[in-house]
Amino acid sequence: MKSSHSQHRALSLAGTLAVAIGFSAAATLPASAQTPAPATKAPAKPWVMPRTPEGKPDFQGNWTNETQTPFERMGNTGQNLTEAQAAALEKRAKDVEEFRDRPTDPNETATSKNGTNELAAVPGEPTFVERIAQAAGGNVGGYNGFWLDPGHSVIRIDGVPRSSIVIDPPNGRLPAVTDAARQRVAERSAGQPRRGGGLDGPEAASLSDRCLSSFGSNAGPPMLPNYFYNNNYSIVQTKDHIMIFTEMVHDARIVRMGAKEHAPSQVRRWYGDSIGRWEGDTLVVETTNLYPTQLASSSMAPFRASSDKLKITEWFTRKGPNVMHYKFTVEDPDTIAVPYSGELPFYRINENIFEYACHEGNYALPAMLGGARMDEKAKAEAAKK
């Protein structure tokens, strides 16, 4: 900004000097030379794909995938929304944000009436994003409006608003799980520490509560909005690797470009083993070998206790200077009856990605566990009476 202002002042000064000099010189010029030519607007230059020194499409920079569009389709709507429906959702998102930003009474105590459920007071049916916030906060509010930044817009693909991220199956919802998957979930649940309500130990807390992984599937794959905040990414690109850094819980995924084979099946990594290739100007990334704890996480919607056969394929295609089309397909024959696919845009942001100070282990866990022990003690004493 400083350089722009300096240039503006310099140009203004130069213009003033030119006018002063021009008046004395104009008397010696022919009349035709004194008449300025009519201004013509230069035609807009077509966008040209930026490329790396190796000639590959350049994806580097900061991006966001925040949206009001739910992962799975709600209701019986079709894949596409009308412009009126999209406008109504986007207006409500802004109305809810304004409602959350109202001044509150610092002396008011938290109750079920003034906690997160208060969002329902905004006229109209709560959206998917509102319901997510309510569920996360409970009756006393986990996150107030200051923290929430899910975005205001619905997804548009080729200018057409969409009702869900999932596009296949055609109903916009995840396919049914297999009998083997249900059995796997039951076995994993039986062997896990107690979940829900009190916690017996840190292992019973979710990966996000332990600051081990981003909310939901922010880092992916697939890379999905968390519907809370910090849905931002940095992409760094070299000849042999592409790094996708996720702002939420500072997750980084490394894509090995040109690799022919995945790591051995016994080598399991957070966010899996990703190998990439180019199909024309589209970056294709295939990921397998996800970490077992990540596969077992029921809070990560795309996985839902997947098996070690899970494979995710992603397609990244730049569509203009500020938009990137992202598509994915999830396959796991031991968990879901058929593969499913989704798509959404990523938009370039001219902002920095800041540290998300959620430290591994989460310093709040001792307080959470201490609270659970106090609750258990109080209940035990009450039972004696």
**Mapped to the 3 state alphabet, what secondary structure does 225-283 carry?**
CCCCCCCEEEEEECCCEEEEEECHHHEEEEEEECCCCCCCCCCCECCCEEEEEEECCEE
Question: What is the per-residue pLDDT for 18?
Answer: 31
- The stretch 142-159 carries a mean pLDDT of 86
The residue assigned the tokens 């709600």 is 74
Non-local CB neighbours of 159 within 8 Å, separated by 6+ positions: none
The pLDDT tens digits of the residues spanning 188-238 come to 766 565 555 556 777 777 788 888 888 888 998 999 999 989 999 999 999
Question: What is the per-residue pLDDT for 33?
Answer: 35
Question: What is the per-residue pLDDT for 4?
Answer: 35
- How far apart CA 93 and CA 285 sit, in angstroms, is 33
The pLDDT tens digits of the residues spanning 267-312 come to 999 999 999 999 999 999 999 999 988 887 755 566 667 889 999 9
Non-local CB neighbours of 66 within 8 Å, separated by 6+ positions: 149, 150, 151, 225, 231
Nearest to 346 by CA among 80, 59, 85: 59
- The stretch 136-155 carries a mean pLDDT of 75
- The stretch 345-373 carries a mean pLDDT of 84
3-state secondary structure of 285: strand
Question: What is the per-residue pLDDT for 24?
Answer: 30
Whether 285 and 314 have beta carbons less than 8 Å apart is answered as yes
Is the pLDDT at 365 greater than 60, yes or no?
yes
Using pLDDT thresholds of 50, 70 and 90, give the confidence band for residue 12: very low
pTM: 0.81
What percent of the chain is helix, strand and coil (3-state, nearest 5)?
30, 20, 50
3-state secondary structure of 290: strand
- Bigger pLDDT: 17 or 306? 306
Non-local CB neighbours of 300 within 8 Å, separated by 6+ positions: 207, 213, 216, 217, 294
The conformation of residue 216, written as its DSSP 8-state character, comes to T
Question: What is the per-residue pLDDT for 199?
Answer: 63
